[in-house]
């Protein structure tokens, strides 16, 4: 299997199968030259899986790996245990606004609108 066919597929398993760290970092640098993340367009478990393979920060010679490593290190909780679940430090989530209630001791006001064509008062 040629390197070109491996890189066109969105599979990253070939990186995990490389046992020698120097060769793995070199392959990962080539893989990350066109990507921000290992799989997809956001931080995922694939990034965590590859991140956990590192014994420490990569050497500065591999620019793309260093960029990716620093980014993942900043958003990942840093747990290096292989069996620990991934804990993401993201600010995104479903945002809910609490239902509005008038302050205690005040009357619930009625909304009064005016129709712009007839100037008649419409009460809801």
Residue with more model confidence, 64 or 85 = 64
2 or 15, which is more confident: 15
How sure is the predictor about 8, in pLDDT bands with cuts at 50, 70 and 90?
Answer: very low
Separation between Cα atoms, residue 5 and residue 3, nearest integer Å: 5
pLDDT at residue number 40: 87
Of the listed ranges 9-18, 66-75, 107-116, the one predicted with least confidence: 107-116
Is residue 123 helix, strand or coil?
A: strand
DSSP-assigned letters across all residues of 28-97: HHHHGGG-SSSSSSS--HHHHHHHTT-SSPPPTT-HHHHHHHHHHHHHB-----TTSPP-B--S-S---P
Tokens for 114?
Answer: 């005016």
Query: What's the mean pLDDT in 76-90?
Result: 56
Question: What's the pLDDT tens digit per position in 12-58?
Answer: 888 888 888 889 999 999 999 998 999 888 888 889 888 888 888 88
**68 vs 66: CA distance, rounded Å:** 5
pLDDT band at 64 (very low <50, low <70, confident <90, very high): very high
Domain ranges of the chain: 3-75
């Amino acid at each position: 299997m040629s390197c070109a066919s491996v890189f066109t597929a969105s599979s990253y398993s070939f990186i995990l199968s490389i046992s020698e760290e120097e060769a793995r970092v070199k392959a990962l640098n080539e893989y990350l030259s066109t990507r921000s993340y290992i799989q997809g367009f956001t931080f995922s478990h694939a990034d965590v899986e590859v991140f956990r393979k590192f014994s420490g920060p990569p050497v500065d010679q591999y620019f793309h790996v260093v960029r990716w490593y620093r980014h993942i290190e900043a958003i990942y909780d840093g747990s290096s245990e292989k069996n620990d679940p991934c804990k993401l430090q993201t600010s995104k989530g479903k945002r809910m606004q609490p239902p509005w209630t008038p302050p205690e001791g005040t009357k619930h006001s009625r909304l009064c609108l005016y129709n712009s064509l007839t100037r008649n008062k419409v009460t809801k």
